[in-house]
Amino acid sequence: MRAQLPGLSLALMALLLALAANIGVGTMVSSFRLTFTGWLDQRLAPELYVTANSDRQGEKIAAWLEQRTDAVLPIRYGETVLMGQPARLYGAVDHATYRDHWPMIEQVPGVWDLVRDGRAALINEQLARRADLWPGDTVTLMPGWDMTIGGVYSDYGNTAGQARVSMQMLLKHAPNVANRQFAARADAQLVPGLIRDLRATFSLPADAVFDQSRIKTQSLAIFDKTFVVTGALNVLTLGVAAFAILTALLTLWTMRLPQVAPVWAMGLTRSALARMELMRSLLLAGLTAIIAIPLGLVLAWVLLTIVNVDAFGWKLPVYLFPLDWMRLILLSLLAGGIAAVIPARRLNRVAPSDLLRVFANER
Protein backbone atom coordinates (compact mmCIF):
# COMPACT_ATOMS: atom_id res chain seq x y z
CA MET A 1 0.00 0.00 0.00
CA ARG A 2 2.85 2.37 0.85
CA ALA A 3 4.41 1.69 -2.54
CA GLN A 4 1.10 2.37 -4.28
CA LEU A 5 0.25 5.64 -2.54
CA PRO A 6 2.47 7.96 -4.64
CA GLY A 7 0.80 6.76 -7.81
CA LEU A 8 -2.70 6.79 -6.31
CA SER A 9 -2.45 10.07 -4.42
CA LEU A 10 -3.94 12.18 -7.22
CA ALA A 11 -6.85 9.77 -7.76
CA LEU A 12 -7.52 9.54 -4.01
CA MET A 13 -7.45 13.32 -3.77
CA ALA A 14 -10.07 13.48 -6.54
CA LEU A 15 -12.20 11.01 -4.57
CA LEU A 16 -11.70 13.03 -1.37
CA LEU A 17 -12.79 16.28 -3.02
CA ALA A 18 -15.75 14.59 -4.72
CA LEU A 19 -16.97 13.10 -1.43
CA ALA A 20 -16.40 16.33 0.49
CA ALA A 21 -18.33 18.27 -2.16
CA ASN A 22 -21.14 15.72 -1.98
CA ILE A 23 -21.32 15.97 1.80
CA GLY A 24 -21.05 19.77 1.84
CA VAL A 25 -23.54 20.48 -0.92
CA GLY A 26 -25.84 17.66 0.20
CA THR A 27 -25.88 18.99 3.76
CA MET A 28 -26.63 22.48 2.47
CA VAL A 29 -29.50 21.32 0.24
CA SER A 30 -31.00 19.00 2.87
CA SER A 31 -30.69 21.63 5.61
CA PHE A 32 -32.29 24.19 3.33
CA ARG A 33 -35.16 21.85 2.45
CA LEU A 34 -35.79 20.92 6.08
CA THR A 35 -35.74 24.57 7.11
CA PHE A 36 -37.81 25.62 4.09
CA THR A 37 -40.49 23.00 4.81
CA GLY A 38 -40.85 24.13 8.41
CA TRP A 39 -40.90 27.75 7.32
CA LEU A 40 -43.69 27.07 4.82
CA ASP A 41 -45.76 25.47 7.56
CA GLN A 42 -45.42 28.69 9.56
CA ARG A 43 -45.86 31.25 6.80
CA LEU A 44 -48.72 29.41 5.09
CA ALA A 45 -50.82 28.77 8.18
CA PRO A 46 -54.11 30.08 6.63
CA GLU A 47 -56.05 27.40 4.79
CA LEU A 48 -57.34 29.54 1.91
CA TYR A 49 -55.91 32.29 -0.32
CA VAL A 50 -57.91 34.52 -2.69
CA THR A 51 -56.94 37.24 -5.19
CA ALA A 52 -59.65 39.62 -6.44
CA ASN A 53 -59.72 41.41 -9.79
CA SER A 54 -60.24 44.85 -8.25
CA ASP A 55 -60.49 46.64 -4.90
CA ARG A 56 -64.26 46.78 -5.22
CA GLN A 57 -64.49 43.06 -5.79
CA GLY A 58 -62.03 42.58 -2.94
CA GLU A 59 -64.40 44.30 -0.52
CA LYS A 60 -67.23 42.00 -1.62
CA ILE A 61 -65.05 38.90 -1.29
CA ALA A 62 -63.91 39.96 2.19
CA ALA A 63 -67.52 40.43 3.29
CA TRP A 64 -68.46 37.06 1.78
CA LEU A 65 -65.56 35.30 3.54
CA GLU A 66 -66.33 36.89 6.91
CA GLN A 67 -69.69 35.11 6.95
CA ARG A 68 -68.28 31.70 6.01
CA THR A 69 -64.80 31.44 7.57
CA ASP A 70 -63.26 31.78 11.01
CA ALA A 71 -61.10 34.80 10.13
CA VAL A 72 -60.18 36.95 7.13
CA LEU A 73 -56.60 38.25 6.95
CA PRO A 74 -56.10 40.96 4.29
CA ILE A 75 -52.75 40.92 2.51
CA ARG A 76 -52.10 44.56 1.69
CA TYR A 77 -48.77 46.17 0.88
CA GLY A 78 -47.23 49.24 -0.67
CA GLU A 79 -43.96 49.82 -2.49
CA THR A 80 -41.32 51.80 -0.64
CA VAL A 81 -37.55 52.24 -0.33
CA LEU A 82 -35.74 50.77 2.65
CA MET A 83 -32.07 51.62 3.16
CA GLY A 84 -31.77 52.75 -0.45
CA GLN A 85 -33.27 49.58 -1.98
CA PRO A 86 -36.80 48.94 -3.37
CA ALA A 87 -38.88 47.06 -0.82
CA ARG A 88 -42.43 46.24 0.22
CA LEU A 89 -44.24 47.45 3.31
CA TYR A 90 -47.00 45.09 4.48
CA GLY A 91 -49.83 45.66 6.89
CA ALA A 92 -50.90 42.95 9.35
CA VAL A 93 -54.10 42.68 11.33
CA ASP A 94 -53.85 41.58 14.94
CA HIS A 95 -54.66 37.86 14.90
CA ALA A 96 -53.45 34.68 16.59
CA THR A 97 -52.30 33.33 13.22
CA TYR A 98 -49.38 35.78 13.24
CA ARG A 99 -48.69 35.54 16.95
CA ASP A 100 -48.57 31.74 16.90
CA HIS A 101 -47.00 30.97 13.54
CA TRP A 102 -44.96 33.87 12.18
CA PRO A 103 -41.31 32.69 11.88
CA MET A 104 -39.33 35.12 14.03
CA ILE A 105 -35.53 35.05 14.28
CA GLU A 106 -35.11 37.77 16.89
CA GLN A 107 -37.74 39.78 18.76
CA VAL A 108 -38.28 41.94 21.79
CA PRO A 109 -40.72 40.82 24.51
CA GLY A 110 -44.35 41.48 23.59
CA VAL A 111 -43.46 42.29 19.99
CA TRP A 112 -46.93 41.66 18.58
CA ASP A 113 -48.52 43.97 21.13
CA LEU A 114 -46.07 46.67 20.07
CA VAL A 115 -46.89 46.09 16.40
CA ARG A 116 -50.63 46.20 17.13
CA ASP A 117 -50.25 49.49 19.00
CA GLY A 118 -48.21 51.02 16.17
CA ARG A 119 -45.04 51.28 18.25
CA ALA A 120 -42.84 48.79 16.39
CA ALA A 121 -42.25 47.29 12.96
CA LEU A 122 -40.97 43.93 11.79
CA ILE A 123 -38.34 43.54 9.07
CA ASN A 124 -37.19 40.48 7.16
CA GLU A 125 -33.80 38.85 7.63
CA GLN A 126 -32.46 40.07 4.30
CA LEU A 127 -32.94 43.71 5.23
CA ALA A 128 -31.63 43.12 8.76
CA ARG A 129 -28.36 41.58 7.59
CA ARG A 130 -27.87 43.91 4.65
CA ALA A 131 -28.36 47.07 6.71
CA ASP A 132 -27.24 45.64 10.07
CA LEU A 133 -30.58 46.51 11.67
CA TRP A 134 -31.83 44.49 14.63
CA PRO A 135 -34.49 44.80 17.35
CA GLY A 136 -34.12 48.12 19.10
CA ASP A 137 -32.78 49.95 16.04
CA THR A 138 -34.77 52.48 14.02
CA VAL A 139 -35.75 52.09 10.38
CA THR A 140 -37.18 54.71 8.01
CA LEU A 141 -40.23 53.16 6.35
CA MET A 142 -41.23 56.25 4.36
CA PRO A 143 -40.02 59.84 4.28
CA GLY A 144 -40.87 61.27 7.70
CA TRP A 145 -41.96 57.90 9.10
CA ASP A 146 -39.45 56.22 11.40
CA MET A 147 -40.24 53.21 13.56
CA THR A 148 -38.44 51.07 16.10
CA ILE A 149 -37.69 47.53 14.97
CA GLY A 150 -39.42 45.03 17.22
CA GLY A 151 -38.43 41.82 15.48
CA VAL A 152 -36.73 40.16 12.53
CA TYR A 153 -38.42 37.31 10.65
CA SER A 154 -37.11 34.74 8.17
CA ASP A 155 -38.14 35.27 4.55
CA TYR A 156 -36.54 32.50 2.46
CA GLY A 157 -36.74 32.78 -1.29
CA ASN A 158 -37.00 36.56 -1.28
CA THR A 159 -33.92 38.68 -1.97
CA ALA A 160 -35.63 42.07 -1.47
CA GLY A 161 -36.16 43.93 1.77
CA GLN A 162 -39.51 43.80 3.48
CA ALA A 163 -41.18 45.33 6.55
CA ARG A 164 -44.48 44.75 8.36
CA VAL A 165 -46.50 47.12 10.51
CA SER A 166 -50.04 47.12 11.82
CA MET A 167 -52.75 47.51 9.20
CA GLN A 168 -53.88 50.78 10.81
CA MET A 169 -50.39 52.28 10.50
CA LEU A 170 -50.06 51.18 6.88
CA LEU A 171 -53.41 52.70 5.90
CA LYS A 172 -52.59 55.88 7.78
CA HIS A 173 -49.41 56.49 5.76
CA ALA A 174 -50.44 54.76 2.52
CA PRO A 175 -54.25 54.81 2.31
CA ASN A 176 -54.37 53.84 -1.38
CA VAL A 177 -52.73 50.41 -1.14
CA ALA A 178 -54.56 47.69 -3.06
CA ASN A 179 -57.10 45.53 -1.27
CA ARG A 180 -57.21 42.50 -3.52
CA GLN A 181 -55.49 39.64 -1.69
CA PHE A 182 -56.84 37.74 1.30
CA ALA A 183 -55.98 34.78 3.46
CA ALA A 184 -58.69 33.02 5.41
CA ARG A 185 -58.78 30.59 8.34
CA ALA A 186 -61.32 27.82 8.02
CA ASP A 187 -61.88 24.15 8.67
CA ALA A 188 -59.74 22.25 6.17
CA GLN A 189 -62.69 20.04 5.24
CA LEU A 190 -64.71 23.08 4.17
CA VAL A 191 -62.00 24.57 1.95
CA PRO A 192 -62.83 22.65 -1.29
CA GLY A 193 -66.46 23.80 -1.06
CA LEU A 194 -65.41 27.37 -0.35
CA ILE A 195 -63.16 27.34 -3.40
CA ARG A 196 -65.97 26.14 -5.66
CA ASP A 197 -68.42 28.71 -4.25
CA LEU A 198 -65.91 31.57 -4.59
CA ARG A 199 -65.17 30.77 -8.22
CA ALA A 200 -68.84 30.44 -9.04
CA THR A 201 -70.01 33.52 -7.11
CA PHE A 202 -67.32 35.96 -8.27
CA SER A 203 -66.31 34.37 -11.61
CA LEU A 204 -62.72 34.00 -10.44
CA PRO A 205 -60.13 32.12 -12.53
CA ALA A 206 -58.57 28.94 -11.23
CA ASP A 207 -55.30 30.62 -10.26
CA ALA A 208 -57.10 33.27 -8.16
CA VAL A 209 -58.31 30.85 -5.49
CA PHE A 210 -56.18 28.10 -4.02
CA ASP A 211 -55.66 26.28 -0.77
CA GLN A 212 -52.67 25.97 1.50
CA SER A 213 -51.61 22.50 0.33
CA ARG A 214 -51.44 23.62 -3.30
CA ILE A 215 -49.00 26.42 -2.48
CA LYS A 216 -46.83 24.12 -0.41
CA THR A 217 -46.78 21.47 -3.12
CA GLN A 218 -45.85 23.98 -5.83
CA SER A 219 -43.19 25.59 -3.64
CA LEU A 220 -41.53 22.27 -2.79
CA ALA A 221 -41.71 21.16 -6.43
CA ILE A 222 -39.90 24.34 -7.50
CA PHE A 223 -37.34 23.81 -4.74
CA ASP A 224 -36.63 20.21 -5.75
CA LYS A 225 -36.44 21.12 -9.43
CA THR A 226 -33.94 23.87 -8.63
CA PHE A 227 -31.50 21.40 -7.09
CA VAL A 228 -31.87 18.54 -9.57
CA VAL A 229 -28.67 19.60 -11.30
CA THR A 230 -26.87 19.41 -7.94
CA GLY A 231 -27.64 15.70 -7.64
CA ALA A 232 -26.48 15.11 -11.20
CA LEU A 233 -23.19 16.90 -10.54
CA ASN A 234 -22.66 14.84 -7.38
CA VAL A 235 -23.01 11.61 -9.36
CA LEU A 236 -20.73 12.98 -12.07
CA THR A 237 -17.95 13.93 -9.65
CA LEU A 238 -18.08 10.50 -8.00
CA GLY A 239 -17.93 8.85 -11.42
CA VAL A 240 -14.90 10.93 -12.41
CA ALA A 241 -13.16 10.05 -9.14
CA ALA A 242 -13.84 6.32 -9.64
CA PHE A 243 -12.49 6.54 -13.20
CA ALA A 244 -9.37 8.29 -11.89
CA ILE A 245 -8.76 5.47 -9.43
CA LEU A 246 -9.27 2.90 -12.19
CA THR A 247 -6.79 4.55 -14.55
CA ALA A 248 -4.25 4.94 -11.73
CA LEU A 249 -4.51 1.27 -10.76
CA LEU A 250 -4.20 0.18 -14.39
CA THR A 251 -1.15 2.39 -14.82
CA LEU A 252 0.45 0.93 -11.71
CA TRP A 253 -0.30 -2.62 -12.79
CA THR A 254 2.93 -3.31 -14.68
CA MET A 255 4.95 -1.49 -12.03
CA ARG A 256 3.59 -3.75 -9.28
CA LEU A 257 4.85 -7.08 -10.58
CA PRO A 258 8.28 -6.67 -8.92
CA GLN A 259 6.48 -6.05 -5.62
CA VAL A 260 4.10 -9.03 -5.70
CA ALA A 261 6.41 -11.59 -7.31
CA PRO A 262 8.49 -12.18 -4.13
CA VAL A 263 5.30 -12.60 -2.10
CA TRP A 264 4.00 -15.11 -4.67
CA ALA A 265 7.34 -16.97 -4.53
CA MET A 266 7.04 -17.24 -0.73
CA GLY A 267 3.83 -19.24 -1.18
CA LEU A 268 0.96 -16.78 -1.46
CA THR A 269 -1.39 -17.77 -4.28
CA ARG A 270 -2.37 -15.49 -7.11
CA SER A 271 -6.02 -15.56 -6.01
CA ALA A 272 -4.98 -14.45 -2.52
CA LEU A 273 -2.93 -11.64 -4.05
CA ALA A 274 -5.96 -10.61 -6.11
CA ARG A 275 -8.13 -10.54 -2.98
CA MET A 276 -5.51 -8.43 -1.21
CA GLU A 277 -5.46 -6.07 -4.17
CA LEU A 278 -9.23 -5.65 -3.91
CA MET A 279 -9.15 -5.21 -0.12
CA ARG A 280 -6.37 -2.66 -0.41
CA SER A 281 -8.44 -0.55 -2.79
CA LEU A 282 -11.50 -0.83 -0.54
CA LEU A 283 -9.46 0.18 2.50
CA LEU A 284 -8.03 3.25 0.76
CA ALA A 285 -11.47 4.29 -0.49
CA GLY A 286 -12.99 3.80 2.98
CA LEU A 287 -10.25 5.83 4.71
CA THR A 288 -10.66 8.57 2.12
CA ALA A 289 -14.42 8.66 2.74
CA ILE A 290 -13.94 8.93 6.52
CA ILE A 291 -11.49 11.81 6.08
CA ALA A 292 -13.93 13.50 3.67
CA ILE A 293 -16.71 13.74 6.29
CA PRO A 294 -15.18 16.52 8.46
CA LEU A 295 -13.96 18.32 5.34
CA GLY A 296 -17.48 18.18 3.87
CA LEU A 297 -19.03 19.47 7.11
CA VAL A 298 -16.66 22.44 7.09
CA LEU A 299 -17.70 23.12 3.49
CA ALA A 300 -21.38 22.89 4.48
CA TRP A 301 -20.85 25.36 7.33
CA VAL A 302 -19.16 27.82 4.97
CA LEU A 303 -21.97 27.49 2.41
CA LEU A 304 -24.78 27.90 4.96
CA THR A 305 -23.38 30.60 7.22
CA ILE A 306 -21.13 32.65 4.93
CA VAL A 307 -21.92 32.11 1.23
CA ASN A 308 -25.70 32.04 1.73
CA VAL A 309 -25.65 35.23 3.78
CA ASP A 310 -23.52 37.08 1.23
CA ALA A 311 -25.44 35.78 -1.80
CA PHE A 312 -29.05 35.73 -0.60
CA GLY A 313 -29.18 37.54 2.72
CA TRP A 314 -30.33 34.70 4.96
CA LYS A 315 -28.51 32.32 7.29
CA LEU A 316 -29.56 28.69 7.55
CA PRO A 317 -29.06 26.27 10.45
CA VAL A 318 -26.71 23.32 9.87
CA TYR A 319 -28.40 19.93 10.21
CA LEU A 320 -26.48 16.64 10.23
CA PHE A 321 -27.51 13.65 8.10
CA PRO A 322 -25.44 10.58 9.16
CA LEU A 323 -27.44 8.25 6.91
CA ASP A 324 -26.31 10.27 3.89
CA TRP A 325 -22.70 9.90 5.06
CA MET A 326 -23.11 6.14 5.28
CA ARG A 327 -24.53 6.11 1.77
CA LEU A 328 -21.53 8.05 0.47
CA ILE A 329 -19.11 5.75 2.29
CA LEU A 330 -20.79 2.76 0.63
CA LEU A 331 -20.63 4.52 -2.74
CA SER A 332 -16.93 5.24 -2.26
CA LEU A 333 -16.32 1.57 -1.37
CA LEU A 334 -18.26 0.59 -4.47
CA ALA A 335 -16.19 2.97 -6.59
CA GLY A 336 -12.95 1.65 -5.11
CA GLY A 337 -14.08 -1.95 -5.55
CA ILE A 338 -15.10 -1.47 -9.18
CA ALA A 339 -11.85 0.32 -9.94
CA ALA A 340 -9.83 -2.59 -8.46
CA VAL A 341 -11.73 -5.37 -10.22
CA ILE A 342 -9.74 -5.25 -13.46
CA PRO A 343 -6.27 -5.08 -11.81
CA ALA A 344 -7.28 -7.85 -9.38
CA ARG A 345 -8.54 -10.01 -12.22
CA ARG A 346 -5.31 -9.51 -14.13
CA LEU A 347 -3.30 -10.41 -11.04
CA ASN A 348 -5.35 -13.55 -10.56
CA ARG A 349 -4.69 -14.61 -14.16
CA VAL A 350 -1.08 -13.51 -14.48
CA ALA A 351 1.13 -16.27 -15.86
CA PRO A 352 3.71 -17.74 -13.45
CA SER A 353 6.33 -17.13 -16.12
CA ASP A 354 5.67 -13.39 -15.90
CA LEU A 355 6.24 -13.52 -12.14
CA LEU A 356 9.40 -15.62 -12.53
CA ARG A 357 10.74 -13.22 -15.12
CA VAL A 358 11.02 -10.63 -12.36
CA PHE A 359 13.72 -12.73 -10.68
CA ALA A 360 15.45 -13.38 -14.02
CA ASN A 361 15.91 -9.67 -14.42
CA GLU A 362 17.46 -9.23 -10.95
CA ARG A 363 21.11 -8.29 -10.84
183 Cβ contact partners less than 8 Å away, ≥ 6 residues apart: 46, 48, 49, 50, 72, 73, 75, 97
**91: burial class by Cβ within 10 Å (0-12, 13-18, 19+)?**
buried
- Is residue 252 very low, low, confident or very high in pLDDT (cuts 50, 70, 90)? low
Strand partners, 121: 149
Amino acid 125: pLDDT: 93
Amino acid 107: pLDDT: 95
DSSP string, 29-54: HHHHHHHHHHHHHHHT-SSEEEE-SS
Closest CA to 285 of 70, 11, 3: 11
- Is residue 84 very low, low, confident or very high in pLDDT (cuts 50, 70, 90)? confident
- Is residue 133 very low, low, confident or very high in pLDDT (cuts 50, 70, 90)? very high
- Map out the domains of the chain as residue ranges: 5-39+225-360, 48-186
Does 111 have pLDDT greater than 90? yes
pTM above 0.85, yes or no: no
Amino acid 302: pLDDT: 93
Contact criterion met (CB below 8 Å) for 90 and 167: no
Angstrom distance (rounded) from CA 189 to CA 291: 52
Residue 176 CA from chain centroid, whole number:
38
Amino acid 251: pLDDT: 67
Does 228 have pLDDT greater than 80? no
Model confidence over 155-196: pLDDT tens digits?
987 888 999 999 999 999 999 999 999 999 999 899 999 999
Strand partners, 165: 91
Q: H or E segment at 65?
A: helix 55-66
